[in-house]
Every structure is written in structure tokens, then in C-alpha cells.
Amino acid sequence: MSHFLAKASLAALLALSSIPLAGSAAFAAPQTDFVVKAQYYHRPPVRGCSPMQAIRKARYSGLRDVRISKITPRRVVVAGRDRRGWDRMAFANVRGCPLMYR
């Protein structure tokens, strides 16, 4: 119990000692009279793995007649044929469509 009280009091002491430092650091910035304009470039929103990108990657890996089998928040599953028969590939539903398993 004494270890808990010692750790709790040390944490409270650190928290209280950091409060005045944060207030004084805010006033340390120099005052300027000019306005800086920020330039924002239009970037498309970063989404997960698109179905077309998954199909392209599956075709590049050797599947033919590729179709989307299932799309979940975590993965995109495509099915198609290779030289041995029907096969499936699963891609992670994140940017870049990394292969999870085949």
C-alpha cells in the first residue's frame, strides 16, 4: 500500500509542477504584425483498398477471371482461376492493398 501511495503522490507532484510551465511557455512567443497564409493542396482522401486495385494486383499475381468475393472492413477477398483451378486471394483493406494470404 505504501508503494501505491508513493507512486500516486509522485504522479500528482509531477502533474502539478508542469501546470505553471505550460502557461508561461504560451506567452514566450514573439508578437508579429504579419499574417502567414497557409496553402492547402487538394489531396484525395486516403481510403482503404479499392476493389479495382485488388483485382489489378490479383491479375498481376496470375489469377484469371478475377471477381470480388467479399469486402469487409478488414479485408478484400477476390476469387479467380489459376493454372490449377479456382483460387482466392485476400488483401488487407488499407492503403496499398497488401496481400494477407492466398
Neighbours of 55 (CB within 10 A): 20
Q: How sure is the predictor about 43, in pLDDT bands with cuts at 50, 70 and 90? A: low
pLDDT exceeds cutoff 70 at 8: yes
**Residue 67 falls inside a structural domain:** yes
Least confident of 30-39, 59-68, 75-84: 30-39
**Residue 26 falls inside a structural domain:** no
**Residue 13 falls inside a structural domain:** no
pLDDT exceeds cutoff 90 at 14: no
Share of the chain above pLDDT 90, in %: 42
Structural domains in the chain (count): 1
Taking every pair of Cα atoms in the chain, the longest distance, rounded to a whole number of angstroms, is 72
**Residue 32 falls inside a structural domain:** no
pTM for the structure as a whole = 0.54
**Residue 77 falls inside a structural domain:** yes
Distance CA 9, CA 25 (A): 25
Question: Domain span at residue 55?
Answer: 51-101
Q: CA separation (Å) from 57 to 30, 72, 75, 87?
A: 53, 18, 14, 14
